[in-house]
Structure 1
Amino acid sequence: MAYLLLCLLALAVSSDLISRKIPNRLVASGIALGVLLQFAIPAGHGPLHVDSSAIGIGPSLGGIAAGLLVMLPLYLLRAMGAGDVKLMMMVGAFLGPLQTLGVAVLTFAAGGVLAIVMALWQRAFRQLILNLRYMLTTSAISAAGGTSPRFEPLQQTAGRMPYAVAIAAGTLLQLILVRSGGWALS
C-alpha cells in the first residue's frame, strides 16, 4: 500500500511541476483506492508496518478528515491551492489520522526548505524576507490592537511553489522515520 501511495504522489508531483495543477481525477482515485483497500486487505498495523496490512475504514476516514483540517486553514488564507488540500486528504486515506499529522509536520518543514531553495534559485530571497517581515509586522499590529490578523494577498510575491513536492517529501520522510522507529508520531 505504501508503494501505491508513493506512485500516486509521484504522479501528483509531476503534474504539479508541469502544469501547476493536481488533477482532481488523480486525487479522487487515490482517495477511493485508499478507502477501498481498507476493505480488501486484512486490518493490522497499516502501510507503515512491515507486513503492509490495512489500517481499517475508521482510521482511513479519520486520516481524510485530518488531511482536510490541517491544510484547510492555509487554503483559506490563500497560502496553498485546493489541490494541495485534496492531496493531503489522499495521503490520509492511506495512513490514518496520526500518521497524516506526522506527514503534515514534515511537509511544513520540507515546504519551508523548498521555499528558501526556490527563492534563492529564482533570486527572490530578498522579496521572501520582505514578505515575511510584512506579514509578521501586520499580524503583530493587529494582535496588539485586539483584532485577529487578516492576511491579504501580497502585492509582490516571491513566486509560486509546487507544494505537491513538499507533501511527497513529507510523506516519504514519514514512511522512512516510522519504519526506522525514529519518529514520535507513529
Structure 2
Amino acid sequence: MDVRFRRVPNFLIFAGMSAALFTCLFSGLNDSTSISSGVTLVMVSAGIAVGFAALFPLYALRAMGAGDVKLMMMVGAFLGPLQTLGVVVLTFLAGGVLAFVMALWQRSFRQLATNLRFMLTTSAVRAAGGDSPRFEPLAQTAGRMPYAVAIAAGVVLQLILVRSGGWALS
C-alpha cells in the first residue's frame, strides 16, 4: 500500500496492534517454548513507546508520514523495546540506502544533495551561534519515499541478525 499509494492504512495498524496484544496476553497459555513467551504487557508498551519516540520527531519535521510512525509502533508492540531500537537503527540505514537509490532512479540526486547540505549548514551555523541545532522543513524536496519499505527491511535485518547471534540488542 505504501509503495503504490504512499499510505499505511489505519486498519492494518489496528489489526497488527491487536495481534500483538493478543499474542502477549495468550502466548503463555500453551507452552513455555513459544517465541513470544517472554513478552509481557510492559514490554509491548515499552516497544510501542520506543517506536513512537524514534520516529515522531521526523513526523513533526514533515520528513515522514504518520502511518510510518504508527507502523514502527506496531513493530515495537511485537518486538519490545530493545529489538525495536535495533529495528530503528537498521531502518534508518535501509532508509538512507533507499533514499540514495530513489534519488538516482528519479534523477533528483542533485536536489537531495542540496537539501542535505542546506540542513547541515543551517544546523551548524545555529550551533556555532549558541542556538540549539534544529532542522527546518524544506521548501523543495527530492521526492516522497515509501518508508514502510525501509521499516520492513529494518525488521527483516533485525530478525536475521538476532537469529544469527550477530547483533547485541537481544
Q: TM-score range by the shorter chain?
A: over 0.9
Partner secondary structure for residue 64 of structure 2? coil
Q: CA deviation at 1:23?
A: 0.4
Contact 2:52 2:70 in 1 (8 A): yes
1:41-56 paired onto structure 2 within 5 Å: 41-42=27-28, 51-54=34-37, 55-56=39-40
Partner secondary structure for residue 42 of structure 1? helix
Q: Provide the residue aligned with 1:175 in structure 2.
A: 159
Contact 1:35 1:61 in 2 (8 A): no
Q: Provide the residue aligned with 2:89 in structure 1.
A: 105
How many residue pairs match? The answer is 167
| Alpha-carbon distance between aligned partners in 2 of 1:66 and 1:158, rounded to the nearest angstrom | 28
Q: Provide the residue aligned with 1:27 in structure 2.
A: 13
Farther off after superposition, 78-87 or 50-59:
50-59
5+ residue gaps, structure 2, are none
1:75-90 paired onto structure 2 within 5 Å: 75-90=59-74
Q: Provide the residue aligned with 1:123 in structure 2.
A: 107
| Alpha-carbon distance between aligned partners in 2 of 1:78 and 1:149, rounded to the nearest angstrom | 17
| Alpha-carbon distance between aligned partners in 1 of 2:34 and 2:161, rounded to the nearest angstrom | 16
Q: Provide the residue aligned with 1:16 in structure 2.
A: 2
Map Cα deviations across residues 35-74 of structure 1 (whole Å, 9 max, x no partner).
121111118xx9xxx8423312211111011111111111
**Between the two proteins, what is the percent identity of the paired residues?**
66
1:137 has 2:116 as partner? no
Map Cα deviations across residues 129-149 of structure 1 (whole Å, 9 max, x no partner).
111000000101111112123
Contact 2:27 2:34 in 1 (8 A): no
Give the 3 Å change call, closer, same or farther, for CA 180–51 of structure 1 in structure 2.
farther
Contact 2:119 2:136 in 1 (8 A): no
| Alpha-carbon distance between aligned partners in 2 of 1:149 and 1:181, rounded to the nearest angstrom | 37
Farther off after superposition, 148-157 or 91-100:
148-157
Partner secondary structure for residue 96 of structure 1? helix
| Alpha-carbon distance between aligned partners in 1 of 2:140 and 2:52, rounded to the nearest angstrom | 28
Q: Provide the residue aligned with 1:5 in structure 2.
A: none
Contact 1:102 1:185 in 2 (8 A): yes
Task: Give the structure-1-normalised TM-score.
Answer: 0.85
Task: Give the superposed CA RMSD.
Answer: 1.6
Q: CA deviation at 1:106?
A: 0.2
Farther off after superposition, 61-70 or 112-121:
61-70
Q: CA deviation at 1:29?
A: 1.4
Q: CA deviation at 1:93?
A: 0.6
Task: Give the structure-2-normalised TM-score.
Answer: 0.93
Partner amino acid, structure 1, of 2:92: F
5+ residue gaps, structure 1, are 1-14
